[in-house]
Structure 1
Amino acid sequence: MTETVLEPVREPVLSVRDLSVSFRSDTRTVHAVDGVSYDLAPGEVLAVVGESGCGKSVTSMAVMGLLPPTAHIGGSIRLGGRELVGAHEKEFQKVRGKDIAMIFQEPMTSLNPVLTIGRQIGEVLRRHQGLSRKDARTRAVELLELVGIPAPQRRIDEYPHQLSGGMRQRVMIAIAVACDPSVLIADEPTTALDVTVQAGILEVLQSLRERLGTAIVLVTHDLGVVADAADRVLVMYAGRSVEQAPVHDLFGTARHPYTRGLLGAVLRPGGEGKRRLPEIPGLVPSLDSQPDACTFAPRCSRADDTCTGGRPGFKAIDPKAGADALHRAACWHPYGADAAADTAPAPDTTDTLDQEAGE
């Protein structure tokens, strides 16, 4: 079933429609992504959230054309009007790093340990912009300064192991934005970083967005980061989109039971030791098959025969809004706007970061 999503007022720089990704082996087929759709407008930050294994990273890798040959991709991915599904690897090489770039989750394994930082940044510049070795080095120093690395003239000749985790992540960002891409995919860019470094990385991304007008897909499981950095949120579960809304609407009036479960598990500042964090019962379903039903039904307290008898459409919460609806959910029995639920308010991440940094 193809989902219906809001078309932004601005022409999207990235449009994903009914994306499906499956991996086949001799014994089974895993449906990692099933019918995901979204649009990304210029300068917009779209956060993609969900539990581990829900398809966030696979969706991003499909957009980048980095999935292995065993992956079968369906649907449509249009970057600036160019269709990427079915494109040859040579086509991806032309746009990857130039029009669309990715910040990978673990920079220590993404950076080449035997090449200097300057050479790795310069490779992108020489390939896509045709710069000379000297000009590429000069531009690499500027990029290191742009992402907030001190003494860039010295750091450019260092190797990844000589940098801290936060600096390596900044180098990854410098490589990703070297050619001023229109779309930047950040896959868990703050994972395993301490809270002060995390704040610095988010500031860099925000600065790049303001300076370059780059649209960002922020893949994360950290709802505090979402509240601080995103404009819209796409919630995924078991390879499917279950809710999409502006960030303040999602935190204020989440409608899907799964989204409410995620928000209910947010640790509130000052609440440690006062209550047990609620957990979503049950387990994430196997992706060997995607049933024509709500995949969250086995874990949902609101589920009934309707939920197990058919797949819910991705519909506007307010039927009167029609095509202009900003808030959509795939649920047969969504919560109402005034329904009480044990969900956390939008985290004040600034205060939280300040408190933790001072401990």
Structure 2
Amino acid sequence: MTETVLEPVRKTSAEPALSVRDLSVSFHSDTRTVHAVDGVSYDVAPGEVLAVVGESGCGKSVTSMAAMGLLPPTARIGGSIRLGGRELVGAPEKELQKVRGKDIAMIFQEPMTSLNPVLTIGRQIGEVLRRHQGLSRKDAKARAVELLELVGIPAPARRIDEYPHQLSGGMRQRVMIAIAVACDPAVLIADEPTTALDVTVQAGILEVLQSLRERLGTAIVLVTHDLGVVADAADRVLVMYAGRAVEQAPVHDLFATGRHPYTRGLLGAVLRPGGEGKRRLPEIPGLVPSLDSQPDACTFAPRCSRADDTCTGSRPGLRAVEREAGADASHRAACWHPYAETQADADSGTGSGTDTDTGTGPGTSAAAQEAGK
């Protein structure tokens, strides 16, 4: 039997650094099947930041783990994931091990559980360098010091001999970033890199990611539910709901004129500094549906006041919100009845809380205003 051999990554602007097409992921057990991801597609160009947003359980992290080849044996993956033009779906584990950490890397969601508590920081960073770059123990240690300095950890020569529990949450997250970028990967997946961090540390983490993409041209997939982070760091946004992509747009377009009712619900539920203290934050009614089955219909329809028989009877495709834009439109939504660019949003049932699509209503978030600067 001949093994599939993955060719070296070639960083070039002529093709996406990461291309996902019609990705589907399901998990099988003796009693049920869960369809966690259903037909998701996106591209990330070198030096670009794509934010993937949505409620917990919408498939953001599963999509990222599929790209890394880290899903359990119970997962069934369909579609295509191409890294620099090479197919990863179906590639042998031996070849994926050569790619992970070198050409595509991931910052995991919880650094305290992702870092090995019984190994020093220097040894954990050095393991990646020795595995993929063949450095000696001495050279790997020296390079580890440089990486810790790169991500902004003070006294790096001392920190490499410390253990994860001796570092703060922000420092542990920076160590995770140092491990992820040790081999200058073409693609970096950051899964909730700022969760549970205070705003000062959060700003530092985002600054590190920004400098990495500028210095290395790294493509970044930023998985988050924090729309403030999205407005500050992303170039484009992919909104997911119940395992499907429901809207994709440049960050400014999404915040200024989000078209899908779910997107507008997310934007309306963001706290706004200086807003009316007595105004109740709008919320999206209902619950995220069970993923045991994916209906041939709009999965958001049960929670959407704009839904009609068309929404409950057929599945909308991700299409251009402006008819004249064509198939290559940058702003697309999977909705039979998307909001118009200047349509007044008098329908409070969507939970968007905005008065107009121009982002000037009482529910407009500070994140949206920041994105428009």
- The answer to whether the superposition gives a TM-score over 0.5 is yes
C-alpha distance after superposition, 1:323-353 (max 9, x if no partner): 3311000000000999945896799999xxx
Q: Do the aligned partners of residues 8 and 294 (structure 1) sit closer, same or farther apart at CA in structure 2, a change above 3 Å counting? A: farther
% identity of equivalent residues: 91
Cα drift, residue 270 of structure 1 = 1.7
Q: Which residue of 1 aligns with 2:135?
A: 131
C-alpha distance after superposition, 1:252-303 (max 9, x if no partner): 0000000000000010012262311000000000000000000000000100
Tell me, in whole angstroms, the C-alpha distance in 2 between the residues paired with 1:308 and 1:3. 45
8 A Cα contact 1:48 1:233, kept in partner = yes
8 A Cα contact 2:355 2:363, kept in partner = no
Choose which of 166, 172, 175 in structure 1 pairs with 2:179. 175
Tell me, in whole angstroms, the C-alpha distance in 1 between the residues paired with 2:322 and 2:372. 44
SS of residue paired to 1:39: strand
Q: Which residue of 2 aligns with 1:7?
A: 7
Greater shift, 332-341 or 142-151, is seen at 332-341
| Gap regions ≥5 residues in structure 1 | none
Greater shift, 272-281 or 25-34, is seen at 272-281
8 A Cα contact 1:16 1:78, kept in partner = yes
C-alpha distance after superposition, 1:223-256 (max 9, x if no partner): 0000000000000000000000000000000000
SS of residue paired to 1:124: helix
Tell me, in whole angstroms, the C-alpha distance in 2 between the residues paired with 1:340 and 1:9. 47
C-alpha distance after superposition, 1:103-159 (max 9, x if no partner): 001000000001000000000000000001111011000000000000000001000
Cα drift, residue 318 of structure 1 = 1.4
Q: Which residue of 1 aligns with 2:44?
A: 40
Choose which of 191, 197, 204 in structure 1 pairs with 2:195. 191
Q: Do the aligned partners of residues 257 and 310 (structure 1) sit closer, same or farther apart at CA in structure 2, a change above 3 Å counting? A: same
Q: Do the aligned partners of residues 338 and 262 (structure 1) sit closer, same or farther apart at CA in structure 2, a change above 3 Å counting? A: closer
8 A Cα contact 2:4 2:91, kept in partner = no
Greater shift, 3-12 or 74-83, is seen at 3-12
8 A Cα contact 1:17 1:36, kept in partner = yes
8 A Cα contact 1:125 1:136, kept in partner = yes
Choose which of 137, 147, 150 in structure 2 pairs with 1:146. 150
Question: How many pairs are equivalent?
Answer: 355
| Gap regions ≥5 residues in structure 2 | 340-350
Q: Do the aligned partners of residues 188 and 7 (structure 1) sit closer, same or farther apart at CA in structure 2, a change above 3 Å counting? A: farther
Choose which of 89, 92, 99 in structure 1 pairs with 2:96. 92
Q: Do the aligned partners of residues 85 and 301 (structure 1) sit closer, same or farther apart at CA in structure 2, a change above 3 Å counting? A: same
Tell me, in whole angstroms, the C-alpha distance in 1 between the residues paired with 2:296 and 2:280. 35
SS of residue paired to 1:23: strand
8 A Cα contact 2:282 2:352, kept in partner = no
Q: Do the aligned partners of residues 4 and 154 (structure 1) sit closer, same or farther apart at CA in structure 2, a change above 3 Å counting? A: closer
Tell me, in whole angstroms, the C-alpha distance in 1 between the residues paired with 2:359 and 2:283. 13
SS of residue paired to 2:37: strand
Q: Do the aligned partners of residues 312 and 358 (structure 1) sit closer, same or farther apart at CA in structure 2, a change above 3 Å counting? A: closer
1:327-342 correspondence runs (5 A): 327-335=331-339, 340-341=355-356
SS of residue paired to 2:327: helix
Q: Do the aligned partners of residues 8 and 175 (structure 1) sit closer, same or farther apart at CA in structure 2, a change above 3 Å counting? A: closer
Tell me, in whole angstroms, the C-alpha distance in 2 between the residues paired with 1:256 and 1:2. 46
8 A Cα contact 2:51 2:224, kept in partner = yes
User: Bigger relative contact order, structure 1 or 2, given CA contacts below 8 A and separation 6+?
Assistant: 1
Q: Do the aligned partners of residues 34 and 287 (structure 1) sit closer, same or farther apart at CA in structure 2, a change above 3 Å counting? A: same
Greater shift, 339-348 or 134-143, is seen at 339-348
8 A Cα contact 1:46 1:234, kept in partner = yes
Instruction: Provide the aligned C-alpha RMSD in A.
Output: 5.4
8 A Cα contact 1:245 1:326, kept in partner = yes
Q: Do the aligned partners of residues 7 and 306 (structure 1) sit closer, same or farther apart at CA in structure 2, a change above 3 Å counting? A: farther
Are 2:362 and 1:358 equivalent residues in the alignment?
Answer: no
8 A Cα contact 1:144 1:152, kept in partner = yes
Tell me, in whole angstroms, the C-alpha distance in 1 between the residues paired with 2:221 and 2:163. 28
8 A Cα contact 1:43 1:214, kept in partner = yes
Greater shift, 330-339 or 1-10, is seen at 1-10
Q: Do the aligned partners of residues 203 and 95 (structure 1) sit closer, same or farther apart at CA in structure 2, a change above 3 Å counting? A: same
8 A Cα contact 1:5 1:38, kept in partner = no
8 A Cα contact 2:128 2:182, kept in partner = yes
SS of residue paired to 2:36: strand
C-alpha distance after superposition, 1:205-236 (max 9, x if no partner): 11111111111000000000000000000000
Q: Do the aligned partners of residues 319 and 28 (structure 1) sit closer, same or farther apart at CA in structure 2, a change above 3 Å counting? A: same
C-alpha distance after superposition, 1:3-39 (max 9, x if no partner): 9999999910100000000001111100000000000
Greater shift, 45-54 or 80-89, is seen at 80-89
Q: Do the aligned partners of residues 26 and 198 (structure 1) sit closer, same or farther apart at CA in structure 2, a change above 3 Å counting? A: same
